[in-house]
Amino acid sequence: MRPRYTVNCSLLFTDLPLLARPAAAKAAGFDAVEFWWPFTHAVPGDRELDAFAAAVIDAGVTLTGLNFFAGDMAGGDRGLLSWTGRAAEFRDNIDVAVGLGARLGVEGFNALYGNRINGVAAGEQDALAVENLVLASAAAARAGARVLLEPISGAERYPLRTLADAHDVLLRAATAGATRVALLADLYHLAVNGDDVDKSIATHLDRIGHVQIADAPGRGEPGTGALPLTTWLDDLYRAGFAGRVGLEYIPATDDPFGWLPSADRSTT
């Protein structure tokens, strides 16, 4: 089975206005896209939501993945899932994000865990994260989707660094009643954090719902670094992974898709 790719339009095509990016992905030969939360607020107005939905639909692509609102990403925020004091904001966003996702075919909603907060016990944050995962997974299930949990790099206070870290959270959430939760294995983040990617793939395959790739060093397209991305993807699919692979990288060359033959870009 060959990989089914989806283009992350929050890191690619950034020379274009956000609403022009789905059409640019289609013009490059892709029929699936994903985005981080594409608005500045947890609950945008109907006009903004409708304009975004129209951009995706008019481009003829499917929105396969969407992040829940994660705060001020440019300012260092990395999610609200465990952020005490912002639970109501996250929960308001659940309804908006899942409603938008249901219109556009979203398969997975990425819930960034959130940084550790000075003065707040880690256990208090972790308990809130589990509560929010239960609520988010119930909402996602109504849309036929699931919630994804992702280890990331480059954020010193973000506590999930390996697939094992995220898996522990998923187990606690499942015990609390969350039924539609899975791991997001970003192979770039795992490698940069020093996770044993081969071992993690083998150990947690049955919990991996989505994969993202970028090369390292540099977070550019495959072939611009030293990671064995092709080998890892082959191992995943041979072992039974049937999900999508998100192209979530920062262009490092004039042709950021030159490594991928045109025939392999579309999922149809």
Catalytic residue IDs: 150, 248
Radius of gyration of the chain (CA): 17
Q: Identify the helix (H) or strand (E) that includes residue 182.
A: strand 181-186
Contact 152, 184 (CB under 8 A): no
C-alpha distances out from residue 239 to 95, 236, 260, Å = 35, 5, 22
Contact 51, 21 (CB under 8 A): no
CA distance 202 to 216: 21
204: number of CA atoms within 13 Å, CB side?
27
